[in-house]
Amino acid sequence: MPYENLDIHLGRTIKLDVESLTAKIVDARRGGYCYEMNSLFAHVLEQCGFSLTRHLGRVRLGDPVNPRPATHMVLHVADCAVDVGFGSATPLAPVPLGGSVTVGGWTWSTDRVVSPEGEDVWAMRCNDALLYTWSDERRHPVDYVTPNHFSSTHPMSVFVVNATVQRSLPDVQRTLAGLELIERFPDGRIDQRTIPLSEYAPTLRELGLDLPPPDLAALSALLGT
């Protein structure tokens, strides 16, 4: 299931109730961003009998010092951090709290740190990159309504600025932001190029997303302007 925010750019409201998430991600074979992916996964885990806690974190990737709003959803299950919604760097397995897990060429790890805001928090890393931090405070499904609204509607939100599809794989982390295709490899190599509009639909399919023709036409029109 790819990480994607295309419904925002198609003018649709991002809904977090289980029925809407199931219809989108399971029935329509779409993806979503962290609130959608992790909310649905949390429901599945709870239906399977797992005990979990929900948390909110601050994304640090790209700027580990200056605080950004606490807008990332992460789960704790059986002394592990579980996250199926962090874009191209999504952990591909549960990450032990205070430990690490390696899948392919990537190693995800967590440790306790003091945040730039002076808080004692958990930190998630992928290889040497700090992805995000989060506090121990338990959150509930209703607590994601406000950050979801900000993330999907505010003009300063990165999700509003870029139509993005991402996929985390054992050998490469792929991001399609608009028409910019970025591929990151475990050895640190980064390949980046602008694809022509004619390659947009095939690239989406490579990332696991086969949109219906009306949606594809609407996005192509936006990207072609």
Half-sphere exposure of 81 (CA within 13 A, CB side): 34
The total number of structural domains in the chain stands at: 1
Residue among 9, 55, 72, 76 flagged as catalytic: 72
Domain that holds residue 205: 3-224
Look up the CATH number of the domain holding residue 68: 3.30.2140.20
Residue 217, H or E segment: helix 213-224
- The pLDDT of residue 224 is 84
pLDDT above 80: residue 225: no
- The pLDDT of residue 23 is 97
Give 158-194 pLDDT, tens digit per residue. Answer: 999 999 999 999 999 999 999 999 999 999 999 999 9
Active site residue 34: yes
Place of tokens 């409201």: 13
Residue 159, H or E segment: helix 158-161
Tell me the average pLDDT across 35-39.
98
Tell me the average pLDDT across 46-66.
94
- The pLDDT of residue 66 is 85
56 contacts 134 by C-beta, under 8 angstroms: yes
Beta-bridge partners for 59: 132
Active site residue 48: no
Average predicted confidence (pLDDT) for the chain: 96
Spatial distance between the Cα atoms of 132 and 110, rounded to a whole number of angstroms: 10
Residue among 34, 55, 80, 126 flagged as catalytic: 34
Active site residue 126: no
Give 91-146 pLDDT, tens digit per residue. Answer: 999 999 999 999 999 999 999 999 999 999 999 999 999 999 999 999 999 999 99
- The pLDDT of residue 160 is 96
Q: Assign 204 a pLDDT band (cuts: 50, 70, 90).
A: very high
Percent of residues, the chain, with pLDDT higher than 90: 94
Strand order in the sheet with 120-126: 95-96, 80-82, 70-77, 52-59, 129-134, 120-126, 106-114, 100-103
Spatial distance between the Cα atoms of 165 and 184, rounded to a whole number of angstroms: 14
Residue among 9, 76, 80, 83 flagged as catalytic: 83
Residue 76, H or E segment: strand 70-77
> pTM for this structure?
0.94
DSSP result, 8-25: HHTT-----SHHHHIIII
201 contacts 209 by C-beta, under 8 angstroms: no
Nearest-Å Rg of the Cα atoms of the chain is 17
